[in-house]
């Protein structure tokens, strides 16, 4: 069969191209543009080459923000993943209570980020917040605006409160897919509770847990709104994570060049980690023969 | 190895069963003799799996008791009963190797490692998986996984009973024969009490010493394959066992003579009976006749299934099957059927009536 050449078909692809261009390519290129130029205002730009990248890589400020960021992500993962699994294992399997649990646990996930931040900001205040006031009265020194540990604890507890449900729900879905026969066979084989978890439940949850880890890692690695609302990055720079630092640099100091270089490296780091996760997950699937 | 006694056992999935219809398993008294191989046969939803799960302790009965060697285990947990069970769909521990899967029940009971190694090799040889012992169980075919499940069920020598819940459903047909033969060999070798649930009559009849036929939550007959064939105790057994199943004719009976479709039929012996009467005759005991004797019938169709022919007939608007030898020619003008008297059973309200002189 002869194929007719009709270049008009390109018009059908055009809407997508335009959309992607405006939503992703052009903004990203703008950032690339800023990252290799310097400006002194008046919309006058000068070529700066890789100057900003060099400066950022040598900047102690950026490395500090990065290590704070990594520490935050690792801590919340270390709490949320085991805690989420633990909750999922103890949730009712079916009936009214299962539905109630699911609804209650979904609630934190539905609250907008800045509202979560505001809730905890007020909750933790020493003068009017229920938590802060109570802790203060029973003699615990707690003030997230002044104390490094109090600030970190507040942010971590807030994130755990906000997101453990997600891990629990995913793990719960994984558990629900295990047929009863597995538990029955384990009883007959006289497997201990730990062995049931280790050899039946955990293997069946691996897939969803990988997704949970990926989602929680990416989300926490890019966190901005909540810490910004609660601590504003303080006390000092104690909770200034990458995004907060980036906004400070770009909007506060209007250092567009360094901020753009910073953004691109930030983006590349996230891309790299996502790729690593993706590779691990697809290899897991292959091993399963799915 | 143990004798298993079911005493007044019944089970309902409802919290407050009122009538008999609420029971998935109706009241039942039965002894499973030590060392026998039983098949539990019935169509889906007749209560076979319920009964099996009660014996293994995965389910606690609504009423009655279960005794292992006269010791009450009704409330004992599964682990304490020391039984093995193989399920319909393969249950394997994916992350373990085949070897670890087979060793799992022994290790959990703290058996001696040298014994475990020797026993695992023995079982692997039996299920033909010596080559894959060090492979991870994930990624194996459904066949292979089910063989592991079977192996795991058989690995303990001292079990009170081995229970199989339709274990060969997912296995290839040629493999089915092989595994069933191995199960039988195993039974002869170790003398375990075995209970094998299935809805496949061939499987039941070839595997078991005794077949327990269940229908609608009730055990309708327990007997050897021959008894089930020759003297089905319930019309369901007649219908369910045999291919095609038993033919049933509505009839009136007067002493040793039955009347079917206005034609008298000699029963050979006298029956005292009341209720809704039916005559059951297996297709093997029906002959076609051309000389006008017997019950009028029209041939509708002849199916040649290889070793014999199945003749489909119409008797008074009712569909009937007869079996003729492969070599026999089917006369085109055959318009009557006769019964071999030794193949006739009489049923009142679906239950078999013993002829005068036969011990019920």
Do A289 and B138 count as a contact with CB atoms less than 8 A apart? yes
Distance from CA of A278 to the nearest CA of B (A): 21
Nearby residues of B348 by Cβ (< 8 Å), 6 or more positions away? B273, B274, B275, B276, B277, B278
Interchain CB contact of A188 with B (< 8 Å): yes
Of B91, B94, B96, the CB nearest to A185: B91
Across the range A45-59, mean pLDDT stands at 80
Please check whether residue B360 lies inside any domain of the structure: no
Of B78, B88, B93, the CB nearest to A187: B78
User: Are B62 and B174 in the same domain?
Assistant: yes
User: Are B152 and B57 in the same domain?
Assistant: yes
d(CA A99, CA B164): 35
Find where tokens 């009709």 sit. Answer: A6
d(CA B237, CA B213): 7
Please check whether residue B235 lies inside any domain of the structure: no
What pLDDT shows up at residue A170?
93
User: Are B166 and B270 in the same domain?
Assistant: no
Q: Does A290 score more than 50 pLDDT?
A: no
Q: Could you write out the three-class secondary structure of B199-249?
A: CCHHHHHHHCCEEEEEECCEEEEEECHHHHHHCCCEHHHHHHCCCCCCEEE
B265, B258 Cβ separation under 8 angstroms: yes
B105, A255 Cβ separation under 8 angstroms: no
What pLDDT shows up at residue A160?
93
Q: Which of B164, B198, B230 is the last residue of a domain?
A: B230
Of A181, A200, A204, the CB nearest to B89: A181
d(CA B166, CA A3): 57
CA separation, residue B25 to residues A19, A257, B62, B234, B343 (Å): 64, 79, 10, 18, 32
Domain A58-288: give its CATH superfamily.
Answer: MetI-like (1.10.3720.10)
Please check whether residue B293 lies inside any domain of the structure: yes
Asked whether the CA dihedral B262, B267, B269, B273 is positive or negative, the reply is: negative
Q: Does A229 score more than 90 pLDDT?
A: no
B15, B53, B54, B93: best to mutate for the A interface, most A CBs within 10 A: B93
CA angle (A276, A278, A282) in 5-degree steps:
120
User: Are B180 and B269 in the same domain?
Assistant: no
Please check whether residue B236 lies inside any domain of the structure: no
What pLDDT shows up at residue A288?
55
Q: Which of B197, B230, B263 is the last residue of a domain?
A: B230
What pLDDT shows up at residue B358?
66
B301, B310 Cβ separation under 8 angstroms: no
d(CA B13, CA B7): 19
Q: What is the CATH number of the domain that holds B28?
A: 3.40.50.300
B80, B82, B95, B161: best to mutate for the A interface, most A CBs within 10 A: B95
Percent of chain A scoring above 90 in pLDDT = 19
In chain B, whose CA is at the least distance from the CA of A204?
B94
Q: How confident is the model at residue A146 (pLDDT cuts 50, 70, 90)?
A: confident
pTM > 0.95: yes or no = no
**List of chain A residues whose C-beta atoms are within 8 Å of the C-beta of residue B58:** 184, 187
Q: How many CA atoms lie within 13 A of A234 on its CB side?
A: 12
Q: Give residue-wise pLDDT tens across range A148-204.
A: 888 898 899 999 999 999 999 999 999 998 888 898 888 888 888 999 898 889 988
ipTM above 0.90, yes or no: no
Crossing angle of helices A113-123/A148-176, nearest 10°? 130
User: Are B127 and B29 in the same domain?
Assistant: yes
What pLDDT shows up at residue A82?
95
Across the range A78-90, mean pLDDT stands at 94
Distance of CA B199 to the CA centre of its chain: 6
DSSP codes of every residue in A121-150: HHHT-TTT-HHHHHHHHTT----TTT-HHH
Nearby residues of B326 by Cβ (< 8 Å), 6 or more positions away? B304, B306, B307, B308, B309
**List of chain B residues whose C-beta atoms are within 8 Å of the C-beta of residue A191:** 104, 108
What are A250's two structure tokens?
């770009």
Q: E strand or H helix at B106, and its extent?
A: helix B98-108
**List of chain A residues whose C-beta atoms are within 8 Å of the C-beta of residue B139:** 287-289
Q: E strand or H helix at B99, and its extent?
A: helix B98-108
Please check whether residue B30 lies inside any domain of the structure: yes
User: Are B182 and B275 in the same domain?
Assistant: no
d(CA B80, CA B78): 5
What are B48's two structure tokens?
């076979």
Ranges of chain B whose pLDDT falls below 70: 1, 273, 356-360
Q: Does A289 score more than 70 pLDDT?
A: no
3-state helix, strand, coil in chain B (%, to 5): 30, 35, 40
What pLDDT shows up at residue A78?
94
User: Chains A and B: how many Cβ contacts under 8 Å?
Assistant: 57
Distance from CA of A6 to the nearest CA of B (A): 48
What pLDDT shows up at residue B174?
79
Of B85, B91, B94, the CB nearest to A203: B94
What pLDDT shows up at residue A83?
95
| Bond before B95 cis per omega within 30 degrees | no
Q: Which domain holds residue B283?
A: 243-353
Interchain CB contact of B352 with A (< 8 Å): no
d(CA B302, CA B288): 12
Question: Could you give phi then psi for residue B250, rounded to 5 degrees?
Answer: -70, 140
B346, B271 Cβ separation under 8 angstroms: yes
d(CA A281, CA A284): 5
Of B77, B89, B104, the CB nearest to A189: B104
A178, A185, A199, A203: best to mutate for the B interface, most B CBs within 10 A: A185
**List of chain A residues whose C-beta atoms are within 8 Å of the C-beta of residue B109:** 190
In chain B, whose CA is at the least distance from the CA of A178?
B91
What's the full length of chain A, in residues? Answer: 290
Interchain CB contact of B135 with A (< 8 Å): no
Q: Which of B230, B253, B275 is the last residue of a domain?
A: B230
* Count of domains observed in chain B: 2
Instruction: Give me chain A's average pLDDT, please.
Output: 86
d(CA A53, CA A261): 5
Please check whether residue B237 lies inside any domain of the structure: no
User: Are B193 and B250 in the same domain?
Assistant: no
Instruction: Characterize B251-270 residue by residue with b for buried, 16 or more Cβ atoms within 10 angstroms of its Cβ, and e for exposed.
Output: bebeeeebbbeebebebeee
d(CA A8, CA B316): 74
Least confident of A15-24, A84-93, B202-211: B202-211
Nearby residues of A141 by Cβ (< 8 Å), 6 or more positions away? A147, A150
Q: What is the CATH number of the domain that holds B302?
A: 2.40.50.140
Please check whether residue B358 lies inside any domain of the structure: no
- Count of CB atoms situated within 10 Å of the CB of B177: 15
B267, B256 Cβ separation under 8 angstroms: yes
User: Are B24 and B103 in the same domain?
Assistant: yes
**List of chain B residues whose C-beta atoms are within 8 Å of the C-beta of residue A288:** 138-139
d(CA A127, CA A136): 9
């Amino acid at each position: 069969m002869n194929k007719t050449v009709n270049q008009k078909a390109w018009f059908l692809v055009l809407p997508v191209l335009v959309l992607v261009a405006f939503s992703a390519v052009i903004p990203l290129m703008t950032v690339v543009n800023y990252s290799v130029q310097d400006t002194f205002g008046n919309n006058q730009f000068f070529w700066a080459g890789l100057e900003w990248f060099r400066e950022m890589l040598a900047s102690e400020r950026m490395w500090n923000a990065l290590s704070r960021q990594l520490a935050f992500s690792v801590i919340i993962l270390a709490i949320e993943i085991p805690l989420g699994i633990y909750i999922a294992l103890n949730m009712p399997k079916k009936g009214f209570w299962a539905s109630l649990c699911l609804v209650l646990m979904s609630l934190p996930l539905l609250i907008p980020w800045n509202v979560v931040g505001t809730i905890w900001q007020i909750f933790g205040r020493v003068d009017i917040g229920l938590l802060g006031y109570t802790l203060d009265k029973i003699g615990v020194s707690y003030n997230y605006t002044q104390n490094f540990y109090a600030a970190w604890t507040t942010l971590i507890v807030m994130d755990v409160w906000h997101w453990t449900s997600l891990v629990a729900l995913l793990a719960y879905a994984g558990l629900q897919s295990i047929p009863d026969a597995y538990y029955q066979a384990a009883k007959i084989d006289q497997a201990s509770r730990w062995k049931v978890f280790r050899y039946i439940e955990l293997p069946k949850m691996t897939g969803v847990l990988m997704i949970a880890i990926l989602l929680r890692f990416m989300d926490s690695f890019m966190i901005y709104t909540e810490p910004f609302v609660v601590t504003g990055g303080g006390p000092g720079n104690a909770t200034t994570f990458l995004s907060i630092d980036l906004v400070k640099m770009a909007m506060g100091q209007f250092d567009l060049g360094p901020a753009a270089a910073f953004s691109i490296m930030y983006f590349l780091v996230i891309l790299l980690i996502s790729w690593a996760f993706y590779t691990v997950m697809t290899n897991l699937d292959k091993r399963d023969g799915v | 190895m143990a004798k298993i006694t079911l005493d007044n056992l019944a089970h309902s999935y409802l919290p407050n069963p009122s009538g008999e219809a609420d029971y998935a398993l109706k009241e039942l008294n039965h002894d499973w003799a030590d060392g026998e191989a039983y098949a539990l046969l019935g169509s889906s939803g007749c209560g076979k799996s319920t009964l099996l799960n009660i014996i293994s302790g995965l389910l606690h009965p609504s009423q009655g008791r279960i005794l292992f060697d006269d010791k009450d285990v009704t409330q004992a947990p599964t682990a304490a009963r020391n039984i093995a069970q193989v399920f319909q769909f393969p249950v394997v521990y994916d992350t373990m190797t085949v070897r670890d899967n087979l060793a799992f029940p022994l290790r959990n009971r703290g058996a001696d490692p040298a014994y475990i190694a020797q026993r695992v090799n023995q079982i692997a040889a039996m299920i033909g998986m010596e080559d894959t012992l060090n492979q991870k169980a994930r990624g194996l075919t459904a066949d292979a996984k089910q063989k592991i499940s079977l192996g795991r069920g058989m690995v303990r020598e001292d079990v009170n009973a081995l229970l199989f819940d339709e274990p060969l459903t997912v296995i290839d047909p040629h493999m089915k024969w092989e595994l069933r033969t191995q199960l039988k060999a195993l039974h002869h070798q170790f003398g375990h009490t075995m209970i094998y649930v299935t809805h496949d009559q061939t499987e039941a009849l070839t595997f078991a010493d005794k077949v327990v036929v269940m229908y609608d939550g009730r055990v309708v007959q327990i007997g050897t394959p021959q008894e089930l064939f020759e003297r089905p105790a319930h019309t369901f057994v007649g219908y369910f066992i045999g291919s095609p199943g038993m033919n049933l004719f509505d009839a009136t009976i007067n002493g040793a003579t039955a009347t079917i479709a206005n034609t008298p039929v000699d029963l050979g012996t006298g029956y005292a009976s009341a209720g809704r009467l039916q005559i059951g005759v297996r297709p093997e005991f029906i002959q076609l006749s051309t000389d006008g004797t017997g019950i009028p019938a029209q041939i509708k169709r002849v199916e040649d299934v290889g070793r014999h022919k199945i003749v489909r007939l119409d008797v008074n608007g009712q569909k009937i099957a007869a079996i003729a030898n492969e070599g026999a020619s089917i006369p085109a003008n055959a318009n009557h059927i006769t019964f071999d008297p030794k193949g006739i059973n009489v049923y009142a309200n679906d239950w078999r009536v013993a002829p005068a002189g036969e011990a019920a």
